[in-house]
Chains A and B, each alone.
Chain A
Amino acid sequence: MEVWNLIIGNPVLNVLITLSHILGGSFGLAIIVLTVIVRLITWPLSKRQLGSTKALQDMQPKIQELQKKYGKNQQKLQQEMMKLYKEAGVNPLGCLWPMLIQLPIWIALYQAIMNALATTPENLLNLAQRLYSWDVVSQAIPLNSHFLWLDLGGQGDFVLAIIVGGTMWIQQKMTQAPAVDPRQESTSRMMLLMMPLMFGFLTLMFPSGLALYWAVSNIIGIITQYFVTGGWGYLKFRSPFQPAPAKGK
């Protein structure tokens, strides 16, 4: 725990408090700026993942060609598509790696929010032991927990849950490559729904400050995705394994 605090916990906490002071005492703005910083730090990973997405989009004609060619032989189609992905050096589920990398940041941020906002006397006392001896930090304490309609130290509400879940779904849908067979299609579809639902649910359980981080992170992801890949990616893409909607007469 000491090592964790030394390497991740305390730096995140102190940076967050310092940002809050610099930004006129707004803890919400500090979380947003920290989110931007985290996205900048993880940019090399995101860039690689976006590159994969772009490559997948460019491969669409080839994929469709393969689907036409091996449509009746799913095993062969899967083999050929995996071969194609391998040759192009892309991973259809590569978008998960930036998320995994961010997990320690989420935990540190959760702890930082709970400690910085000091929702209990224990948190406030523990905070004293974790602050750097910077004047800017001591001047920022105690922090204002209110931002927009949110109490950043309190649990998130349904509006925030919908924003978090919705933006996560859009971001994932934009980056999720088409499945190569019906089995993978079901996994992809489950994942596309499950992650936003899970994060929407977590928003209701965790401090709003953490959910604000998720929402802003998702929005930044959508914007960068849009500009790097030059559009909405797979957002409007329909899986070839899904039944076509009935046309009106």
Chain B
Amino acid sequence: MKQPKILFLAVIALLALVVVSCIPGTAQPTGGWSGPTVHDGIIYVGTRDGRVLAINSSTQSQSWNYTISPATTIYTTPIVDDDLVYVGSYSGQAYALTIGRGIERWVYPRTGSIGAIVGTPVVANETIYVSSSDGRVYALDTTYGDLRWKSEPLGKPLANKLWTSPAIMGDTLYISTFDGHIYALSMETGALSDWSFESEAGFASSPAIDENTIYVGSFDRHLYAVEIGSNVSMWQFPQEKAAGNWFWASPIVNEGIVYAGCLDGKLYAIAAKTGEKIWEFDAESPIVSSPVLIDNLLILANESGVVYVFDLSAEIRDEAVPLETISIGADVRSSFCAHDGLVYIRSENNSIYVVDIDKGEVAEGWPVSLAIAK
């Protein structure tokens, strides 16, 4: 009798262990994907528990916070335009809050959901363009949150889901999809342009546009350059063997050179016209966040929290040497921003770090969840 009972108890105990270890959400990391946005000395950031925070960068105190209920993750980086700050939630609603006090101006949709919003929206011409996990792009009026249009050619969504951010050139919105398409939409009506691009592999990154060319990272471990209007890619990088991993972060283009960070830990400088490698730099840790530019300085952060500064005005060399290397001592997965010579980084340990590029110093990080200033 003893053996069967012990066996029975062992099965129950192991199953309980499986349940505890596997139930979704039990191992939720504390960091955040929502990068910081700085406007008039205030840092705006979203949290995993559905809060939008406004933090005074001088006093490091919280100006206000707005909590989305029920709690949900905010993956999008807040966008500030005029007197409103915009965020999208994973529960599938877009919010406009006043920048002064964080009061809700509008929410779309008022009830229900349009599908998880992961890609950071873009704002132009008094319209906010939101890509959603229901595979559609929504154009909302920035003042009232009214729906201007949603992309639904032939009554169908553009893709199974859209997690990328749209990019704008002229009066057209460009969006890359996980199933390997780049679509061009009229910003005015949402109508699909006659041109679209199709690749065998899906696109992992949001598109970046420069001089009529779209640069986008693919799941096949290549960076694609696609001339708008063409059905074949201008080039794919690397030209021979694929890179070590995906080009997850959007590249940036400066003076004819594409700077693309890769999850294989390398930053590649690529000739925009030919796709030839100019140099590569091994950051020794995946590059999840897109690099940013401050004048002629390129700022790069790897996942391990090491910030590299490259002087782009220096003579191009075969091997790139960073001007400065600064470690913030915490992992970085979210986008970061530059403002007045300072770089604001939100880390996975849920803190904000301010890197002074001129001085080559990083101020001690402070936690995102601060008490509200009296």
**Which residues from chain A sit less than 8 Å from chain B, CB to CB?**
78, 91-93, 96, 99-100, 103, 106-107, 110-111, 114, 120-122, 124-125, 128-129, 133, 135, 138-139, 141-142, 144, 183-184, 187, 191, 195, 198, 202, 205-206
Contact = CB atoms under 8 A, between A and B. Distances in A.
Nearest to A141: B219
Given A121-B163, A128-B263, A202 B220 contact: no
B118 A121 contact: yes
Interface stretch (B9-17, B95-103, B363-371): B9-17
A142 B4 contact: no
Given A93-B8, A138-B201, A184-B1, A125 B248 contact: yes
Contact of B220 (A78, A96, A139, A205): A139
A30 B160 CA distance: 20
Task: Choose among A114, A128, A135 the residue with the greatest number of B CB atoms under 10 Å from its CB.
Answer: A128
Nearest to A142: B178
B359 to A, nearest CB: 32
A17 to B, nearest CB: 11
A183 B5 CA distance: 11
- SS of B interface (majority): loop
B4 A184 contact: yes
A195 B263 CA distance: 43
Interface residues of B, number: 41
Contacts of B90: 120
A29 B8 CA distance: 32
A103 B16 CA distance: 11
Given A91-B3, A133-B244, A139-B200, 17 more contacts: A93-B8, A107-B18, A110-B22, A111-B22, A114-B24, A121-B33, A122-B29, A122-B33, A128-B286, A129-B245, A135-B220, A138-B242, A139-B220, A187-B5, A191-B8, A202-B15, A205-B19
A106 B7 CA distance: 19
Given A93-B8, A184-B4, A138 B15 contact: no
A107 B8 contact: no
Interface string B209-238: 000000000011100000000000000000
A110 B4 CA distance: 28
B22 A93 contact: no
B263 A139 contact: no
Contacts of B178: 142
Task: Choose among B29, B200, B245 the residue with the greatest number of A CB atoms under 10 Å from its CB.
Answer: B245
Contacts of A120: 73, 90
25 contacts: A91-B3, A92-B4, A93-B3, A93-B4, A93-B7, A100-B10, A107-B18, A107-B21, A107-B22, A110-B22, A120-B90, A121-B33, A122-B29, A124-B163, A125-B333, A128-B263, A133-B221, A138-B242, A139-B200, A142-B160, A183-B1, A187-B5, A191-B8, A205-B23, A206-B22
B179 A142 contact: yes
A141 B202 contact: yes
Interface string B24-64: 10000100010000000000000000000000000000000
Nearest to B222: A138
Closest 3 CB pairs of A and B: A93-B4, A141-B219, A142-B178
